[in-house]
Amino acid sequence: MMDSAFSMPCLVASIRSGDDTVCRRPFLIAGFPLFGLLWDNPAMSDSTPALHRHPLTWLLLLALFAGGLYLGWQQFDQPAPPRLSDQVTRLPQPRPITDFELVDHHEQPFTLGRFRDQWSFVFFGYTHCPDVCPTAMLDLKRTVAAVADNGPDVMLPQVVFVSVDPERDTPEQLARFVPYFNPDFIGVTGSQDQLDQLSGQLSSLAMKVPNPDNPDNYLVDHTASILLLNPDGRLEAIFTPPHDPDTMAADYRELARHFKESS
């Protein structure tokens, strides 16, 4: 805390008089006695030039003081950090994504631009998934409903289901699966290389598990996390299973609030 004995009038008096005997206590800026560096520096004795009496020196000190106040105000003016559950991990810096080319279940192009100007929940799965994928999609349906029920102060997120099984998940197949959970949900597919371009940037893993008895009835092991992209098209947070829709909705609202206040 700044020494109460050293006040702004004292500083002004020192400037006007040019006499360092008016006030000799260090004035603290950002925790450092900047004036003390001049007054108490052994190298600056009476036998050396009194640089600290030069008007430019005082102007420099005043500029440092003003800069310290500005930086302190900037810290004070930052929005409160989002209060999040243990279910979500917020990235220290949102991860940028380079453009990609996929197709949605309406057979329309799906590129990075479709992630911009809105929040997006993204889940990597496949339509023949026996349990994890239907459960995650149902959780997302309930999450979006919970966000809507809690008021219009944040935008509703879009939900994008990205296939990890391009062999079987054609746009037609996705059109039978994805809208079942919500007609506004979007199914996305493409070639393996195209899908890898997106999944690799989002650290989503998938591996085909062959079935020797029935080659067409194979499984795919894949990441079960739900990803959240912000309106800049960057990865903002990762929701790890098990997913609780009400908790996800509350976390989403906190993240959206913080993003809006920080923009």
- Read off the pTM: 0.71
**pLDDT of 106 above 50:** yes
Q: Is 10 annotated as a binding residue?
A: no
Q: How far apart are CA 239 and CA 251, in angstroms?
A: 9
Nearest to 119 by CA among 143, 100, 98, 136: 143
Q: Is 54 annotated as a binding residue?
A: no
Q: How many CB atoms lie within 10 A of CB 13?
A: 13
- Write down the domain spans for the chain: 8-75, 88-262
pLDDT digits (tens, 9 = 90+) for 130-179: 999 999 999 999 999 999 998 888 899 999 999 999 999 999 999 999 99
Question: At residue 35, does pLDDT exceed 50?
Answer: no
* Band of pLDDT at residue 64, cut at 50, 70 and 90: confident
E strands in 140-243? 158-163, 186-189, 206-209, 219-222, 226-229, 235-239
Find the mean pLDDT for residues 57-84: 67
pLDDT above 90 for 180: yes
DSSP 113-152: GGGBTS-EEEEEE-TT-SSHHHHHHHHHHHHHHHHHHT-S
pLDDT of the residue at 211: 97
Token readout for 60 is: 């420099």
**3-state class (DSSP) for residue 32:** strand
What token pair was written down for 251? 């976390």
**105 marked ligand binding residue:** no
pLDDT score of 77: 53
Q: Give backbone dihedrals phi and psi of 148, rounded to 5 degrees, phi first.
A: -65, -35
Place of tokens 């944040």: 154
The enclosing H or E element of 105 equals: none
More confident residue, 61 or 168: 168
Phi-psi sector, 185: left (phi>0), alpha (psi -120 to 50), beta: beta
- The letter for the amino acid at 151 is G
Determine the Cα–Cα distance for residues 154 and 150; give it in Å rounded to an integer.
Answer: 9
pLDDT at 241 over 70: yes
pLDDT exceeds 70 at position 207: yes
Looking at CATH, the fold of the domain delimited by 88-262 is given as Glutaredoxin (3.40.30)
